[in-house]
Amino acid sequence: MDSENGRSFELPGAKPHYNPDRPGQVQHIALDLALDIPNQRYSGTCTIRLNPVRSGIDCLTLDAVNLTIDSVKVGKNKQPFDYDGEQLHIHLKDATQSGNVLELAIAYANDNPQRGLYFIAPNEHYPDKPVQVWTQGEDEDSRFWFPCFDYPGQLATSEIRARVPKQLLAISNGELIETIEDGDDKIYHWFQREVHPTYLMTLAVGDFAELRDDWNGKPVTYYVEKGREHEAKLSMGKTPHMIEFFSKTFGYEYPFPKYAQVCVDDFIFGGMENTSTTLLTDRCLIDDRAAIDNRGTEALVAHELAHQWFGDLVVIKHWSHAWIKEGMASYSEVLWTDHEYGADDAAYYRLNEARSYISEDSGRYRRPIVTHIYREAIELYDRHLYEKGACVYHMIRRELGDEQFFATVHTFVNDNAHKTVETVDLLRAIEKATGRNLQFLFDQYVYRGGHPDYKVAYSWDGDSKLAKVTITQNQAKDGDTPLSKGLFDLKIPVGFGYVEEDKFQKLKEFTVRVHEKEQTFYFPLKEKPQFVSFDVGNHILKTVTLELPVGELKAQLAHDPDPVSRICAAIALAKKGTLETVKALSHALTHDPFWGVRAEVAGQLASIKLDQACTALVDGLKEKDARVRRAILDALGQVKTQASYKALKSVVEIGDPSYYAEAAAMRSLAAIATTPINGKSKEEKVIKLLKGVLESRAGWNEAIRSGAIAGLSRFKSSEAALNIILEYTAVGVPQPLRLAAVRALGAISTGQTSANLDRILDRLSDLADEAFFLTQVSVVSALGQMETTRAASILQSLSDRTPDGRVRRIAEEAVQRVLKNAGQDKAVKKLQEELDQLKKDNQDLRSRLEHLEAKAKS
């Protein structure tokens, strides 16, 4: 159990999970369905062709949850069965004979399904909502919409015949065999000839606009609500280029007869890679203004497309090995970024993947990537699976080199096409393609939790011309060994950078083996280097603290060719907190060639409480790149001065070309206005301003108005702000804005009066009764920020009755967090507040001293 960092991943009730015994090989699944959309029900037949693995089997057990089972037949003969609402036990009149294929025909119906298949329809509160039907199978939800052997180890061909009103389209896996008009209905018949697991079977029905593209003669189609065709091309138009790129990258031509992407309403994921037919949330559709600085949709499209190889062509045998597909799909976002935007963008993307995982590891739980101990498989779909998995793939690439890495990928995909795999199969592909054994890397990063936390110190001995570098593994305890899980044993490149006439010249590189808690290395050099680069290229998944002299950090920030190393230098410099470091960071804010470094520098400048840092940030608002402007606007929220207030207020009033930058300005303006500036309160003015935004700036995905709501939530003691937020939690408010308001109730709750806190809790209690997944997640987010046992009670009640494993898990985690917050010693909190004020006073004093010193030198 890896629970050293915070709470254990394994919650009460967790147990080992294994695939069930296999009665035979499912060869084919056929669904023949009639959808009664107005009444939100459907009926039909599920036919399963099974080749028994052995003779003498007289009972078959299928997964089938909350279905009405009318009959079961083998051929024309009815079979007796038992059904308990979760599993269908078929008692075969004639026991199986090995090699004799049998065909089960199960007639069934489903009224008002809650999972697996979803009916979307307009109502009195949302009259513009489209009429749609869509399915979602991963992880184990296919059993909620048809009887099946619902685990990923069974691969079969499939077909779906769906009867729908003739004005609607029905899209499914594979090829469209035929369409038949029958009165007011149309029957769509789709056939998937390549084997796949049940969780990848899908059906999507709606009055969609269809946009046609192609790749090498294969149809590439986009389905969206009518009127959103332009957004569809903006959002998904690069798909054919991506198919070409991934076909070459994975060494296997796109394997299915078509690729469709269907954008549906109220989808419960970002996207789902059903075989040849990906479903996407319609929230991913971007407009021209969002396209300025939104690459998230492009990354989502790349991620789901990469799954057509990793996940659909090569299928995991058990959920515990899901990192093989999710890690590679996430790493494919990095690969595409590199291809489309360059190495710096890819390195920065990978840094943020690592940060996402590290945040979960430090703040939520630590676990091995591969584990079969859980309550529900959906619990595995976390940042360890996706982002850490992506980082592990990159470390494999770093260890092998590009040529051997991609040879491994080609071998893995080609050897396992249309088969199931486990993690050991990836190790075998590495060995087959390269002769390398990377078990040591998997043991440290896949089969156990955590990562190394390094501290790096450096000094130069001019007499002996030796560079001394001391590396400490902070995560390890005295006496730890790699076998005891505390230490990591890795080879790490250390580089020494040389600069001449303010231009980078070269990096002298050495590789050292770091395997003890503390090691000191001496490097003979002809002359003193200008900077030190630890883990050249930053390929290792780690955290690191640089204890280097200011001069070396400044040189690294200015000249290290790797953007992640420059970011690390900026972080280390900011901790020095001097006027010298402000000057270096200010220069980088306007002169670094890469936008990601400039954005990171903005945040570091804000952490230094000197007037010059504020001046640099305000001046930086002239930045042309919207992503950097957004970072500067976010950073200014930490700088509570008249200058920052004026700059932010101007952006809020005038606007910004970027939705995200404009929203950031609103959040930051509110953060500043929570305390008086020059003795004057700005609270009333800012609340009025944000209220005006809410009344006048509806738009794409409610990005701007959600920023206003987030800003209002900063006024933790304001009843006026609370009243506005509560207003936007009402049913009928556009969903993205409503969800933002629900989450904001948690943020604003901590400073409200007891009476207002009761109003918040009453509202969240009512909202917790809503069935929509995203509403439940937002309610949990809000309640999890609170410090009252009543919040814990509402969370526990929601956890007990929700059908969704993700909601159940985050609600239970939130219960523990709330109970801990509610029990905190008030005296300790008061002491912390006094300490924070003392720090602020000291920072103000230092700022004045730095200013006087600067004037004296001028």
- Helix (H) / strand (E) containing 675: none
pLDDT at 485: 73
Among 735, 742, 745, 694, CA closest to 715: 745
Alpha carbon 767 to chain centroid, angstroms: 25
pLDDT in tens, 410-426: 999 999 999 999 999 99
DSSP assigned state of 131: P
In this predicted model, what pLDDT tens digit does every residue of 369-379 receive, in sequence order?
999 999 999 99
CA 356 to the chain's CA centroid: 8
* pLDDT confidence of residue 219: 98
**Quick check: 32 pLDDT over 80?**
yes
User: What whole-number distance in Å separates Cα of residue 294 and Cα of residue 50?
Assistant: 47
Q: What does the block give as tokens for 577?
A: 């907190």
Is the pLDDT at 854 greater than 80? The verdict is: no
Dump pLDDT digits (tens) for 63-98.
Answer: 999 999 999 999 999 999 999 999 999 999 999 999
d(CA 798, CA 771): 10
Tens digit of pLDDT for each residue in 217-232? 999 999 999 999 999 9
User: Do 172 and 188 form a contact (C-beta atoms < 8 A)?
Assistant: yes
Q: Which pLDDT score is estimated for 851?
A: 57
The per-residue pLDDT for 704 is 98
**The total number of residues written for the chain in this structure:** 858
- What is the rounded distance in angstroms from the CA atom of residue 704 to the CA atom of residue 630? 13
**CB of 659 within 8 A of CB of 665?**
no
Q: Note whether 776 and 739 are within 8 A (CB).
A: no
Q: What's the average model confidence in pLDDT over 572-585? A: 96
Nearest to 814 by CA among 857, 775, 778: 778
Confidence of residue 480 (pLDDT cuts 50, 70, 90): confident
Residue type, 504: F
- The values of phi and psi at residue 667, to 5°, are -60, -45
Q: What is the mean pLDDT of residues 558-575?
A: 98
Per the CB < 8 A criterion, the answer to whether 469 and 458 are in contact is yes
Which residues are bridge partners to 497 per DSSP? 507, 531
Give the span between the Cα atoms of 589 and 641, in whole angstroms: 20
pLDDT confidence bin for 845, thresholds 50/70/90: low
Quick one: pLDDT band at residue 175, thresholds 50, 70, 90?
Answer: very high
Alpha carbons 735 and 662: distance in angstroms, whole number: 20
High-pLDDT (> 90) share of the chain, %: 93
Neighbours of 243 (CB within 10 A): 21
Q: What is the pLDDT of residues 733-748, one digit of tens each?
A: 999 999 999 999 999 9
pLDDT in tens, 585-596: 999 999 999 999
What is the mean predicted confidence (pLDDT) over 562-585? 97
Which has the higher per-residue pLDDT, 3 or 522? Answer: 522
Secondary structure tally for the chain: helices H, strands E: 26, 33
Q: 423 and 321 in contact (C-beta within 8 Å)?
A: yes
Q: What is the DSSP letter of 386?
A: I
* More confident site: 826 or 254: 254
Compute, in degrees rounded to 10, the torsion defined by CA atoms 726, 728, 730, 732: 180
pLDDT given at position 1: 39
Residue type, 791: A
Please name which of 454, 453, 456 lies closest in space to residue 556, comparing C-alpha atoms: 456
User: Nearest CA to 258 among 173, 177, 187?
Assistant: 173
**Distance between CA atoms of residues 750 and 718, nearest Å:** 11
Residue 492 DSSP SS3: strand
457: left (phi over 0), alpha (psi -120 to 50) or beta: beta
d(CA 49, CA 71): 16
Q: Can you spell out the DSSP letters for 326-371?
A: HHHHHHHHHHHHHHHH-HHHHHHHHHHHHHHHHHHHHHTEE--SS-
Model confidence at 467: pLDDT above 90: yes
C-alpha distance from residue 423 to each of 317, 322, 406, 501, 665 (Å): 10, 9, 17, 51, 46
CA distance 253 to 273: 17
The CA distance from 120 to 131, in Å, is: 5
Band the pLDDT of 517: cuts 50, 70, 90. Answer: very high
What is the band of 336 on the pLDDT scale with cuts at 50, 70, 90? very high
Q: Taking the CB of residue 36, how many other CB atoms lie within 10 A of it?
A: 15
Amino acid letter for position 302:
A
Counting residues of the chain whose pLDDT is more than 70, the rounded percentage is: 95
The token duo for 377 is: 């498989």
Tens digits of residue pLDDT in 813-837: 999 999 988 885 444 454 445 544 5
Cβ contacts of 727 within 8 Å, gap of 6 or more: 741
How far apart (Å, rounded) are the C-alpha atoms in residues 315 and 310?
7
Buried b (16+ CB within 10 A) or exposed e, 648-678: bbebbeeebebbbbbbbbbbbbbbbbbeebe
pLDDT at 824: 55
Structure tokens at 515: 């395997």
Task: Choose among 343, 289, 375: nearest CA to 700.
Answer: 289
User: What mean pLDDT is predicted for residues 614-637?
Assistant: 97
Does residue 149 register a pLDDT over 80?
yes
